[in-house]
Amino acid sequence: MQALIGVATSILTHNLNVKENEHILIVTDPESYEIADIFYQAGIVLGTETQVIKMKTRTKSGEEPPRAVAEAMKAVEVVLCITHHSLTHTRARKEASAQGARVATMPGVTMDMLQEGAITADYSEVEELTAYYCELLDKGEFVTIEKDHTKLTFSIKERRGIPSTGVFREKGESGNLPSGESYIAPLEDSANGTIIVDGSIAGIGVLKEPITLTLEHGRLVDASGEDGKRLLEILGDGNGRIIAEFGIGTNKKARLTGNVLEDEKVFGTVHIAFGSNKPFGGTNEAGVHIDCVIKKPAVTMTHWDGSRVLF
């Protein structure tokens, strides 16, 4: 246990730049409380005023926390969301960031992840790769993802790339921890085509067999196989099926484990998500946000000057 507290103390110090006079709030739920307590003890080691709020487990990623939790998140310098489902793309997280809180979201984090994989990355390298891909996204207009016989196209014109490095030093910075991705909100009605997803899906895990997604005018209209049926059920029949995100993994230590917190950071993968994207530059609110990871696709980006960049 002392070794894990040491890892958590290092994360608070190096990734979140926690200072002795700052206040830390840890938001957690019954499934994640054991790890939340490790970070609580790390906060005490650092001499900070550290508090834990345990709420009822959310039913899906992107679901808002209770109002009291959202208000508490805005009243401290550092927030850790150590929860079963992700609070990354919620209004509560966005409003806490707007108030200046540094927010690290750690949905589904495991004991193993505190010692191996993405958390052990060279975060200077992660920051460099993430900045590189964000610059490409900022310049991009159209993206094409190809996998085997499938092709999906969408527009990112005039949208901005978002860096998620796992390092949050300044007021208002936020993202996943561990991390390593560059992501953007596509234009919500622009995606058309089909794409094979062969990595993992948030809430489902590593896929036993690939599924094919079909999108028309930005909306997911079909998903093959049993896991595809589960995806459609999670997203519901409303705005949850609208494309929300295109992301590029930038962490060379990340592994495909079935936990989307790490899966979507794997270098050499990309992911698309459906549901809410308003917290990072889109227009859609859905109360759900589900990522789908694609291994080793061919990605082409068209820039305003006609150049094409292949990943």
Residues 83 and 160 in one domain: no
Distances 214 to 131, 156, 157, 197, 246 between C-alpha atoms, Å: 31, 19, 22, 11, 16
Residues 104 and 165 in one domain: no
Residues 110 and 153 in one domain: no
Euclidean distance between CA atoms 168 and 265, whole angstroms: 17
Place 57 in a pLDDT band, splitting at 50, 70 and 90.
Answer: very high
Residues 262 and 138 in one domain: yes
Question: Which structural domain, as residue segments, surrounds residue 31?
Answer: 2-115
Residues 124 and 212 in one domain: yes
- Residues 144, 153: contact at Cβ < 8 Å? yes
Six-digit token string for 95: 């409003």
pLDDT at 274: 98
Distances 242 to 10, 143, 183, 288, 291 between C-alpha atoms, Å: 38, 17, 16, 10, 12
Element at 3 (helix H, strand E): helix 2-10
Residues 18 and 155 in one domain: no
Sign of the CA dihedral with 86 first, then 92, 98, and 101 last: negative
> Mean pLDDT, to the nearest integer, of 271-288?
95
- The count of structural domains within the chain is 2
Residues 100 and 139 in one domain: no
Six-digit token string for 123: 């975060």
Residues 73 and 129 in one domain: no
**What does pTM read for this prediction?**
0.85
Residues 208 and 63 in one domain: no
Residues 164 and 72 in one domain: no
Residues 108 and 208 in one domain: no
Q: Is the pLDDT of residue 184 over 80?
A: yes
Pick from 115, 136, 151: which residue ends a domain? 115
Pick from 115, 135, 154: which residue ends a domain? 115
Euclidean distance between CA atoms 211 and 221, whole angstroms: 13
pLDDT at 114: 87
- Residues 151, 86: contact at Cβ < 8 Å? no
Pick from 61, 90, 115: which residue ends a domain? 115
Six-digit token string for 57: 């487990």
The domain that contains 62 carries what CATH number? 3.40.1830.10
Euclidean distance between CA atoms 199 and 203, whole angstroms: 13
Residues 72 and 124 in one domain: no
Q: How many residues does the chain have?
A: 311
- Tens digits of per-residue pLDDT, 83-141? 999 999 899 999 999 999 999 999 999 999 888 989 888 999 999 999 999 999 999 99
String of DSSP letters for 246-280: EEEE-BTT---SS-HHHHTTBTTEEEEEEE--GGG
Q: Is 224 helix (H, G, I), strand (E, B) or coil?
A: coil
